[in-house]
């Protein structure tokens, strides 16, 4: 039997707090006119106290799951693509796995900056197609506002927070993920990076005072790189899927800059109405931008069963990539019973997590005490 990997659930979560260009112009030397004309961004969402990359990811993941006939326990794999993880370790994906109660799933984070969601989706799809797993949850989640230097006008106007998730399921029905292109060029790593906090520059007073824990970017270089790779990766993935460009109903590009997307459209000879654009409301949410844009496109009925889609991204690393898919999932509305199930599942996942933590403390006391006794 030939196996296919279909997206059967999707969900997004963004913070309530909106930060407008107007507000930014009171923080740094910038203006609404400059930001809109150079990037297309009008506002972005920013996390508040108590919100984090894991909390946004878990919310998006739970929303994606209720659209499917799966429960969290049916998931075999949870991947969180992120450039702003909860910690260096444990992986944000493990926190999400615990929060959802995905008790049978392996979980790991994927670090490929803005290209992470495409790579994660391809990894999960290949694991499904080869028969290694049946069900996967792939999430792109970011709180870049926590990594931004709010005094650097060259970067702080660009980024925003949010998460988007897809559930992938095995099926015998043709379609789903058709092909992917994954590329990298580490020689360009320094043009977009958070230099410190890892093993190269561990945290010291100096790294903090030099702001080496915030995003450093050479915008012009990233812009040039992006306009070079977007159209090429799209062409290549379409060819690998055995399709022609004019068979692609919709391109869902990484939302980094409206001008970069317009340049890719020109390079491909495709009209802009074939591209999803929502950068005006969310800014650049890195690995979350494609799933958030996809969720909004689905909500608005812009993606229909049978459509051929291309997802395409570029980012720090440098990394870039594209994924072609045929959408086969029905445009299902979530029945109220599933919403109730989500609330119940979330409640039991929390209870389970607390119980397991308590058991671990008790085990620690018992084993800790006995090891002392052994001495
Ligand atoms: O997910 C990937 C992440 N990153 C990206 O995708 C970023 C890609 N790059 C870009 O989107 C663009 O390069 C930017 C939006 C970052 C900058 O646009 P640009 O048209 O490339 O501007 P620039 O860097 O060439 O700067 C033009 C001028 C400079 O002033 P001078 O040197 O001409 O006097 C900047 O200092 O604009 C100035 N500038 C600003 N002015 C007002 C830079 N940022 C700002 C700002 N407000 N926020």
User: What's the pLDDT at 373?
Assistant: 44
Q: Give the chain's length.
A: 375
Instruction: Among 29, 215, 223, 230, name the best residue to mutate to test ligand 1's pocket (greatest count of ligand atoms within 8 A of Cβ).
Output: 223
- Residue 6 and residue 294: Cα distance in Å, rounded? 14
- Tell me: pLDDT of 344 over 90: no
Q: State the pLDDT confidence band at 350, using cuts at 50, 70 and 90.
A: confident
114 lines ligand 1 (CB under 6 A): yes
User: What's the pLDDT at 333?
Assistant: 65
User: What's the pLDDT at 252?
Assistant: 98
CA dihedral sign, ordered 248, 221, 123, 242: positive
User: What's the pLDDT at 368?
Assistant: 80
Closest residue by Cα to atom 14, ligand 1, is 219
Percent composition of the chain: helix, strand, coil (DSSP 3-state, to 5): 45, 20, 35
pLDDT in tens, 294-331: 999 999 999 999 999 999 999 999 999 999 999 996 65
Which member of 114, 122, 135, 295 is catalytic? 114
**Average pLDDT, stretch 237-259?**
98
Q: State the pLDDT confidence band at 374, using cuts at 50, 70 and 90.
A: very low
- Tell me: pLDDT of 276 over 70: yes
Q: How far is the CA of 39 from the centre of ligand 1 (A)?
A: 9
253 lines ligand 1 (CB under 6 A): no
Q: Is 372 a catalytic residue?
A: no
61 lines ligand 1 (CB under 6 A): no
**83 close to 284: Cβ distance less than 8 angstroms:** no
- Residue 126 and residue 128: Cα distance in Å, rounded? 5
Closest residue by Cα to atom 48, ligand 1, is 153
- Tell me: pLDDT of 349 over 50: yes
pLDDT in tens, 55-106: 999 999 999 999 999 999 999 999 999 999 999 999 999 999 999 999 999 9
- Tell me: pLDDT of 332 over 70: no
Q: State the pLDDT confidence band at 369, using cuts at 50, 70 and 90.
A: low
**Average pLDDT, stretch 337-359?**
83
30 lines ligand 1 (CB under 6 A): yes
Closest CA to 139 of 62, 202, 212: 62
257 lines ligand 1 (CB under 6 A): yes
Q: What's the whole-number average pLDDT of the chain?
A: 95
Q: How far is the CA of 29 from the centre of ligand 1 (A)?
A: 12
For residue 364, what are the CA distances in angstroms to 95, 118, 373, 374?
Answer: 21, 40, 14, 15
Q: Is 87 a catalytic residue?
A: no
CATH number of the domain at 4-326, please?
A: 3.40.47.10
Q: State the pLDDT confidence band at 337, using cuts at 50, 70 and 90.
A: confident
- Residue 294 and residue 164: Cα distance in Å, rounded? 9
pLDDT in tens, 128-153: 999 999 999 999 999 999 999 999 99
Closest CA to 239 of 290, 175, 178, 182: 178
Q: How far is the CA of 158 from the centre of ligand 1 (A)?
A: 9
Q: How far is the CA of 310 from the centre of ligand 1 (A)?
A: 28
- Tell me: pLDDT of 291 over 60: yes
**45 close to 74: Cβ distance less than 8 angstroms:** no
Contacts of 172 (CB under 8 A, 6+ apart): 1, 2, 3, 4
- Tell me: pLDDT of 370 over 60: no
| Long-range CB contacts (within 8 A, 24+) of 195-203 | 197/88, 198/88
**Average pLDDT, stretch 322-348?**
79
Q: What is the token pair recorded at 243? A: 């399709």
Q: State the pLDDT confidence band at 15, using cuts at 50, 70 and 90.
A: very high
Count CB atoms within 10 A of the CB of residue 100: 26
Q: How far is the CA of 157 from the centre of ligand 1 (A)?
A: 10
pLDDT in tens, 156-207: 999 999 999 999 999 999 999 999 999 999 999 999 999 999 999 999 999 9
Q: Is 254 a catalytic residue?
A: yes
Q: State the pLDDT confidence band at 17, using cuts at 50, 70 and 90.
A: very high
Q: What is the token pair recorded at 363? A: 């085990």
């Amino acid at each position: 039997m030939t196996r296919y990997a279909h997206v059967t659930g999707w969900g997004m979560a963004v913070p309530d707090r909106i930060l407008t260009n107007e507000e930014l112009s009171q923080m740094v030397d910038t203006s609404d006119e400059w930001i809109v004309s150079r990037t297309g961004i009008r506002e972005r969402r920013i996390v508040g106290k108590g919100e984090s990359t894991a909390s946004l990811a878990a919310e998006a993941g739970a929303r994606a799951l209720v659209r499917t006939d799966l429960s969290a326990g049916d998931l075999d794999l949870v991947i969180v693509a992120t450039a702003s993880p909860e910690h260096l370790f444990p992986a944000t994906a493990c926190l999400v796995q615990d929060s959802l109660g995905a008790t049978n799933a392996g979980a790991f984070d994927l670090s490929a900056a803005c290209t992470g969601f495409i790579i994660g989706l391809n990894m999960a799809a290949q694991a499904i197609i080869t028969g290694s797993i049946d069900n996967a949850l792939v999430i792109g989640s970011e709180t870049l506002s926590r990594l931004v230097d709010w005094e650097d006008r060259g970067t702080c106007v660009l980024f925003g927070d949010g998460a988007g998730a897809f559930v992938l399921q095995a099926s015998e029905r043709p379609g789903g993920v058709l092909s992917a292109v994954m590329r990298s060029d580490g020689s360009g790593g320094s043009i977009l990076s958070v230099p410190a906090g890892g093993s190269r520059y561990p945290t010291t007073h100096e790294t903090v005072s030099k702001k080496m824990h915030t995003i450093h970017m050479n915008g012009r270089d990233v812009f040039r790189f992006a306009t070079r790779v977007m159209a090429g990766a799209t062409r290549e993935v379409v060819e690998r899927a055995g399709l022609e460009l004019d068979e692609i109903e919709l391109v869902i590009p990484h939302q980094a800059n409206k001008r970069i997307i317009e340049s890719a459209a020109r390079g491909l000879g495709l009209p802009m109405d074939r591209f999803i654009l929502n950068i005006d409301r969310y800014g650049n949410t890195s690995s979350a931008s494609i799933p958030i844009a996809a969720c909004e496109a689905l909500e608005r009925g812009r993606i229909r069963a049978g459509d051929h889609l291309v997802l395409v991204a570029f980012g720090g690393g440098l990394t870039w990539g594209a994924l072609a898919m045929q959408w086969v999932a029905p445009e299902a509305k979530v029945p109220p019973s599933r919403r109730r199930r989500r609330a119940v599942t979330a409640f039991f996942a929390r209870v389970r997590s607390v119980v397991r933590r308590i058991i671990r403390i008790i085990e620690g006391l018992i084993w800790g005490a006995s090891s002392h006794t052994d001495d």
